[in-house]
Amino acid sequence: MILIVDSGSTKSDWIAVDSNGNRLLEKIRTKGLNPAILPEKKLKKIIKKNEDLKANSEQVTHIFFYGAGCGTEKPKALLSGVLEEIFINATVEVNEDTMAAVYATINSINEAAVVCILGTGSNCSYYDGEIEHKRVKSLGYSIMDDASGNYYGRQLIRDYYFNHMPENVKIAFETKFNVEDDYIKYNLYKQPNPNAYLASFAEFMFLHKDSDYIIQLIKKGIRLFATNMIMQYKDELATAPVHFAGSIAFFAKKEIQEVAEEMGFRTGNFERRPIDGLVAFHTNNLKN
């Protein structure tokens, strides 16, 4: 049994397949496994809580894990150790989530492209057809992650409290969410995964895209992301398309395309969930 995992900070999708790519179990979903945020004990608890993973742990021979927070050695080693302890017969490979986005969006294994993730967090890299290149190291949700779910959640809360929302949007926002200050501060400063909490507000934007305020909010975040991340690869953009993965990118496709036209880069594929492309990629490689 081969487990292929695509994990953000909010959720993790697990697909179990055999060496021919045949599904062995229904898709498994757990909470996000971000080793840069969660301690070892919490990571283990999330995995062991799932009955399917627990029941099949000894049958797993390979784990290909792609996740947020796996871009530096210490958290990557932490998660590898957790997976090896639980899945005792498995060869474990842990990579940053940007490589999942690469494999899920490129049209062929040798295609060069700039690949972006816009989900709970955000990131961007250049894949030259063989190797992934990064010109910016992500410092996480508190000071980076432009145009991500947690970025937009933060902006929405700020605009609500600073009275920058149009009145009709403000009423809809406070109807949908608990906006009491103590409740928000409790979730931001006392609970785990504050980035995922912030990202939970982002869906609101896509339910209210009839508002010019919302459209401008979306575009402002995309312009920031493009300026700070995509334009790091200005030379490569002359020939390479820009692919996008993640739910924010998927639902903001129109606004991304409009910003791309403004800023002079060419968009390519939009993939909401990278997991399906990863299954094909890894089963093909196991055969070769």
pLDDT tens digits for the chain (288 residues)?
999 999 987 889 999 998 888 889 888 999 999 999 899 999 999 999 999 999 999 999 999 999 988 988 999 999 999 999 999 999 999 998 888 899 889 988 899 999 999 998 999 999 999 999 999 988 888 899 999 999 999 999 999 999 999 999 999 999 999 999 999 999 999 998 899 999 999 999 999 999 999 999 999 999 999 999 999 999 999 999 999 999 999 999 999 999 999 999 999 999 998 887 788 777 776 655
User: What pLDDT was estimated at residue 78?
Assistant: 97
Q: Enter the CATH code of domain 2-100+274-287.
A: 3.30.420.40
User: What pLDDT was estimated at residue 273?
Assistant: 83
Rounded to a whole number of angstroms, the CA Rg of the chain reads 19
CA atoms within 13 A on the CB side of 123: 27
Residue carrying the six token digits 């999942």: 100
User: What pLDDT was estimated at residue 288?
Assistant: 53
The pairing of strands 242-245 and 113-118 is parallel
Classify burial at 123, counting beta carbons within 10 Å of its beta carbon; exposed 0-12, middle 13-18, buried 19 or more.
Answer: buried
User: What pLDDT was estimated at residue 287?
Assistant: 56
CA atoms within 13 A on the CB side of 28: 23
Nearest residue to 242 (alpha-carbon basis) of 268, 262, 222: 268
Q: pTM for this structure? A: 0.81
Every domain of the chain and the residues it spans = 2-100+274-287
Classify burial at 276, counting beta carbons within 10 Å of its beta carbon; exposed 0-12, middle 13-18, buried 19 or more.
Answer: middle
CA distance to 35, 68, 122, 125, per residue, from 100 (Å): 17, 10, 13, 11
Please tell me the distance from the alpha carbon of residue 106 to that of residue 274, in angstroms, as a whole number: 11
User: What pLDDT was estimated at residue 286?
Assistant: 62
The pairing of strands 11-17 and 28-31 is antiparallel
Helix (H), strand (E) at residue 235 = none
Nearest residue to 184 (alpha-carbon basis) of 173, 278, 237: 173
